[in-house]
Homo-oligomer: A and B are copies of this chain.
């Protein structure tokens, strides 16, 4: 910690990069993540409930929802570039981690693939007809963890 130019504070934060296996371990339980993409109104970020399934992040949306329409390009086999962010941050301690998965969004169109991703068990919390499964196929997975160390911590 010495000599890194940080401001002296009661508890100074340390930012650690996380390697890919650790990122995958942290996101393997599924839950709420945020999908980011460029939509009709520019950059867009919305929370979705996801599952990690066969190395992809699977979530459900409405085929005619804004997200569903933005992620369906209308061109067969064409995929949108997306970001998927998952974090767990405690406001009380200001500690936590965040993972950023970057890749492409693949709308599940075939019956065979749909039958496969159904096994992920993922549900959409928002309800309604969330009949479109989308898989995020990662091309880049990065993460970081914030820990706080007190002034007396050995460093």
Which residues does A use to contact B, with CB under 8 Å? 4-7, 9, 12-15, 31-32, 34, 36-38, 41-47, 49, 81-85, 87, 89, 91, 94, 98, 100, 102, 125-129, 140, 144, 146
Say yes or no: A32 contacts B89, CB within 8 Å: yes
Shortest Cβ gap from A3 to chain B (Å): 13
Query: Residue on B with the closest CB to A15?
Result: B126
Shortest Cβ gap from A10 to chain B (Å): 12
The A interface is mostly helix, strand or loop, or mixed, namely: strand
**Which residue of the partner chain, among B6, B43, B81, contacts A127 with CB atoms under 8 Å?**
B6
Query: How many protomers of this protein does the assembly include?
Result: 2
Docked pose: A126 CA to B9 CA in angstroms? 12
With A5-B129, A13-B127, A127-B13 known to touch, is A43 a contact of B32 (CB < 8 Å)?
Answer: no
* 22 CB < 8 A contacts A-B: A4-B128, A7-B127, A13-B126, A13-B128, A14-B127, A15-B127, A31-B91, A32-B91, A34-B34, A34-B85, A36-B36, A36-B83, A38-B43, A41-B102, A42-B81, A42-B83, A43-B43, A44-B83, A45-B45, A45-B84, A47-B87, A126-B144
Residues from chain B with Cβ under 8 Å of A47 in the complex: 85, 87, 89, 98
Query: Residue on B with the closest CB to A33?
Result: B45
